[in-house]
Structure 1
Amino acid sequence: MLTYTPPESRQTVQTREKPWLLLLMAFAWLWPGVFSHDLWNPSEPVLLTAAESLKNGAQPFVAEIFGQPEFRISPVYLWVAAAFQNLFAPWAADAYAAARFASVIFTVIGLTSCGMAGFNFLGRPHGRSVVLILIGCAGLLQMAHLMGGVSPVFAALGMVLYGFSLAHRRVIAAALLMGGGWALLSVSAGFLLPLALMLTAAALPISRQWRFKRYYVTLIGALAVALPLMTVYPLALRSARPDLFAVWLDSHFWGRYGGLTDFQTAFNLFYYLRNLLWFAFPAWPLAVWTLTRTGFRNSRWGVLSTAWLAVAGMLLVLNPHTYQDNLVWLLPPLALLGAAQLDGLRRGAAAFLNWFGIMAFGLFAAFLWIGFFAMNFGFPAKLAERAAYFSPFYTPDIAPMPMVVAILFTPLWLLAITRKNIRGRQAVTNWAAGVTLAWALLMTLFLPWLDAAKSYRTVVQQMEAALTPQQRAQFSDGQECIGTDANDQRTRIAWTQYSKLPLSAGNDGCRYRLVRQPKDTAAPAGWTKLWQGARPRNKVEGFALLERGR
């Protein structure tokens, strides 16, 4: 008779996979893209500016951009980013890379916590599978390697999941992880998401799978840890800056949903469903496979994951902002569900996932290598022409270390995909290896090309090159000034980071004025346009240097 056996009761499946190989892949996945490039939109310029403001003495409870508060940036992320800058810049890394270490460390916490949750819920091999599924999700790439406020959210969610997995045997550790995760989540994403997860935790005993004494004790302990910690930030902000506390309470208490006086919702179901298809692949199809198996309803991990997905999914649907990185709320339970029935995945489905990954990442890797030769050596000529079209400021740049990394990754991936007897876990491992290869090649072979297209440095340098020696001398001596709009953060950040010319924000008396406007916009009456420029292929945003008529 065919019966369902919960993963907790199954005999551990023997596997030839070694834990150190997972650590090696995770290490290889983590670092490409962290070093050797400028600040990239949308979040890096403002986050770096806020971290520098904190290092220069700004108040620590709300991010500041040129003295203006920015509540959408997690203060926890800023604290960690500024700490890494103090520790590692400039002797071990430049200021940009050191700040990105914050994303790396939060991602490591999230991956480790989710992997340990898979180990505790499902068994030893499945913990590694959870991590591999997460590494294979494209949605984590930008979060893990660039500056942004999403990585602390991922770390907090991983801690909460890890805490749930320990509730049946290690009450104190479970309570600390759950309570600490909820507290970190409140500072990083507002109070609505952690409160919703706390209510979900309180409602879990509706299922008989969560009706046991240790869980009740864990839940009480987690609330005892979380609730006091969640009051620390509001009380500290109120004590330090009552004016900012009032703004935070009224407009940012619930995070992206607003505050107590202007709570907002919308209906964005189709936006998040559409982006989930690529953001959480292959986690979501593997989770769907598990949900089609009837046995998940009789397990603690199944009840928890479905409840988590229902609550977080509802919050996403009602989110007033269309921000794809919010889909990270769903990744921990999706990865857990995806790993649960991975060994039972049908051979045809595993073979298709493996074949699709080999074809997709193999073709993409081949394209990147051909593109690298095209943009550096001019062959194939047609591809070199397209590369120059999309990044015209790029100059051939072949650095030894990126080349070593790219050359090393390619044969290792080819070796990994030649294994026989591919089943579910091997297919997921090959998919994660393909993602690692594609990202590593993109962030080594194409990094200078991408940086030339995405950075504002070349635009700033173009403007400086357009100045006459007399104008440069006048700016250096303070005889003339360049005015700009005080509210134009993007322009001020770009010229602060990449230029030594001082801008005079909000000064309408300057003879010269730097403005951000669409290209080929006519100069206003009384002004002459001395220079205009923009990042490559950007038809919306441009910059112009104007001179007041005498």
Structure 2
Amino acid sequence: MLTYTPAVQHAQPPASERPWLLLLLAFVWLWPGVFAHDLWAPMEPQLLTVIEQWRNGGHWALPTLFDRPYWEAAPVYVWLGAASQAVFSPWLLDAYEAVRLVNVGLMAIGFCCIGGAARQFLGRRFGRTAVLVLIGCPGLLMPAHLMSTIPLLFTGAAMCFYGLSLAKARVIMASLMLGGGWVLLALSGSLLLSLSLMLLGACLPLSPHWRYRRYYLVLPTALLWAWPQMLLWPYALYQADTAAFFSWWQQQALMPFGGFGQIQFDFSLWYYLKNLLWFAFPAWPLAIWSASRLRLADSDWGILGMAWLALLGFLLAVSPLQFQDLLVILLPPLAVFGAAKLDALRRGAAAFLNWFGIMTFGLLALFLWLGFAAMNYGWPLKLAERAVYFSPYYQTDVDYFPILVACVFTPLWLWAITRQHVRGRQAVTNWAAGITLSWSLLLTLFLPWLDAAKSQRPVVQQMQKAFDADAVRRLQAGQECVSVEAGNHTARIAWQQYGWLTLDVDNPHCRYRLVRRSPQATTPAAGWQELWAGARPREKREWLALWQRLPAKPTEPAKTLQ
């Protein structure tokens, strides 16, 4: 009898389920950069000062920096930072760490929302994959771990995306999440993203995939509970300071495009496309792969993701502000798209991604260990010289707890990358583990070195040493003063945080004056002499200089005519 023998199918080995590894990786990713360093530019000094002034008697609806409205500080971030300080500082964390703890909470919520959206849209296990794709994006590292309003945008966008994913299954929860995302984005100080995502939600029923009864319940329910809360802060601002409210409404309410009084546009497409290449890697190539394997227009999540990227991508393309961290608003659909067909990634592509990640982060980890040895022990010599060049204020500081943490992370990464049968999911996991290792080594081994380079503390200490003992005594007794111009926020914040000296604002009677000048302008104004000048390492635009008033020349007696 003729029989047919099918070809032998070599099945792929089953993927092992280890959700605790993802939790561990996310936990390790969240914390480096939160502890044990001073305020780093560009946003941390200003945000912390706004929070402290709010706690010291400021109006809850009006964020101010030295008694002037400061719209770059999102109101809700100020509230959360002040609440975190009240709860955790000083008994558990210092004031800086307590505020950065807000970032940890916001990023954790954002990860959970995007993971939940991927699970709702794609099925079980895809939520974990989407979070791994996010952890692997280098662009999230800086805004997620330093004081910044960007985590608010990320979390608000993630909540909206999750709310839309729940619309078919859980009407109440979907309404709460969608409306909560709108409210969080509105309380960031700009109504633009909230209004844009409301417009997106209203336009989704143009696709037949979003024409169902439950979605028609979700959208108005979310609007009904979100609108009153979105209007609460502008109303309170109007009641607190009418002039500040109209200034915000006319110039800031639609940032980065301005306000309702003046709307500005520019062409920033190439800037954001260029930065997206590294900011959202490997999310964007994986998203392109999924789009090539699927008909995105045939699914509700495909329609949502394409509409999201088209609308918010257009806003970035015509934005007058070129700020790479704004790309976080594109990450929710990119992460879900990247997870959709990750398991079907071709073996060659998965092997290349895995090899590229191992080589990149392996060499980077080796460089970081060598750099640690160079800056603390002088070997290798050339690397030690470069370490001194970029951070000349650094003093050898070897803390064995960070070294122990780094010694634990490094072999764990080596263990993770030695797995066999690497496919798409394992390649992305290895990439996420590599970027987490590099960030952890940088913010443990290099933290004191970075702090000496990025903090204003060494600058303050160097300037205060320029006074002789008699001047110090007179300054501490209040017999002398140092004047600074009101707009020199950098100096005012730095001396408020790190110095014993209290600066007088625009006091013409002070004997000393702290001024800003270019590195080339070494000649002080007439009637003054320069005692000191300095700045953070490699600062090329603006230095601080301490001037002392010269004593007035005695008036010569008039000559008598003979």
CA distance in 2, matches of 1:193, 1:460: 40
Aligned-pair distance for 1:189? 5.2
Correspondences of 1:322-361 after superposition (within 5 Å): 322-361=322-361
Equivalences for residues 281-292 of structure 1 within 5 A: 281-292=281-292
Counterpart of 2:373 in structure 1 is 373
Structure 2: which amino acid aligns with 1:106? L
Contact 1:153 1:189 in 2 (8 A): no
Further displaced range: 214-223 or 455-464: 214-223
Instruction: Give the Cα–Cα distance (whole angstroms) in 2 for the partners of residues 369 and 36 of structure 1.
Output: 20
The 1-side partners of 2:549 and 2:428 are apart by 62
Structure 1 residue 297: deviation in Å? 1.8
Which structure 2 residues correspond to residues 215-364 of structure 1 after superposition, within 5 A? 215-364=215-364
In structure 2, the CA distance between the partners of 1:520 and 1:471, relative to structure 1 (3 Å rule), is farther
Q: Match of 1:128? A: 128
2: distance between equivalents of 1:189 and 1:287?
31
**4+ aligned runs moved over 6 Å, structure 1:** none
CA deviation vs aligned residue, 1:230-280 (integer Å, no higher than 9, x gap): 111111111222221111111111122111111111111111111111111
Deviations 1:337-383 (A, max 9, x none): 11111111111111111110000000000000011001110011111
- Encode CA deviations 1:7-32: one digit per residue, 9 max, x unaligned: xxxxxx96313111111111100101
Please list the CA deviations of residues 164-201 of structure 1 after superposition, one character each: whole Å capped at 9, or x if unmatched. 11100100100110011011111215112211111111
SS in 1 for 2:256: helix
Partner-residue secondary structure (3-state), 1:483:
strand
User: Equivalent residues in 2 for 1:36-115 (5 A)?
Assistant: 36-115=36-115
Cα shift at 1:520: 4.4
* Cα separation, 2, equivalents of 1:132 and 1:151: 18
Aligned to 1:548: 549
> Do 2:157 and 2:329's aligned partners in 1 also have CA atoms closer than 8 Å?
yes
Residue matched to 1:7? none
Instruction: Using the aligned pairs only, state the percent identity.
Output: 54
| Whole-angstrom distance in 2 between the partners of 1:244 and 1:17 | 54
Structure 2 residue matching 1:514: 3-state secondary structure: strand
Q: 1:515 is matched with which residue?
A: 515
Matched residue of 1:214: which SS?
helix
Task: Give the aligned partner of residue 3 of structure 1.
Answer: none
Amino acid at match of 1:362: G
Where structure 1 has 5 or more consecutive residues not aligned to the other structure, the ranges are: 1-12
1:486 partner letter:
A
1:199 aligns with 2:196: no
Give, as a single letter, the amino acid of the residue that structure 2 aligns with 1:426. Answer: Q
1:351 maps to a residue whose letter is A
Taking the aligned partners of 2:66 and 2:287, their CA distance within structure 1 comes to 45
Aligned to 1:528: 529
Amino acid of the residue matched to residue 184 of structure 2?
L
Q: Distance in 1 between matches of 2:140 and 2:76?
A: 19
Alignment coverage as a number of residue pairs: 538
For residue 119 of structure 1, report the CA deviation from its aligned partner.
1.0
For 2:38, the aligned partner's letter is D
Q: Deviation at 1:329?
A: 0.9
- d(CA) in 1 for partners of 2:48 and 2:324? 21
- Work out the CA distance in 2 between the residues paired with 1:253 and 1:532: 40
1:226 positional shift: 2.0
Contact 2:62/2:240, CA 8 A, preserved across alignment: no
- Give the structure 2 partner of residue 8 of structure 1: none
Q: Secondary structure at the match of 2:120?
A: helix
> CA RMSD, aligned part only?
1.1
- The 3-state SS of whatever aligns with 2:342 is coil
Deviation at 1:64, TM superposition (A): 1.0
Matched with 2:538 is 537
Distance 2:509 2:274 in 1: 49
**Higher alpha-carbon Rg:** 2
List gaps (5 residues or longer) in structure 2. Answer: 1-12, 552-562
SS in 2 for 1:255: coil
TM-score by length of 2: 0.94
Q: Which residue identity lines up with residue 349 of structure 1 in the other structure?
A: A
- Partner residue of 2:437? 437
Comparing 78-87 with 405-414, greater Cα deviation is found at: 78-87
What is the CA–CA distance in structure 2 between the aligned matches of 1:189 and 1:138, rounded to whole Å?
26
Summarize deviations over 1:191-240 as a string: whole Å, max 9, x none. 12211111111111111111111111111211212222211111111122
Cα 1:345–1:189 change in 2 (3 A) is farther
Deviation digits for residues 65-110 of structure 1, max 9, x if unmatched? Answer: 1111101210100111111111111121111111111111111111
- Write out aligned runs for 1:410-489 (5 A): 410-489=410-489
Secondary structure of 2:545 counterpart: strand
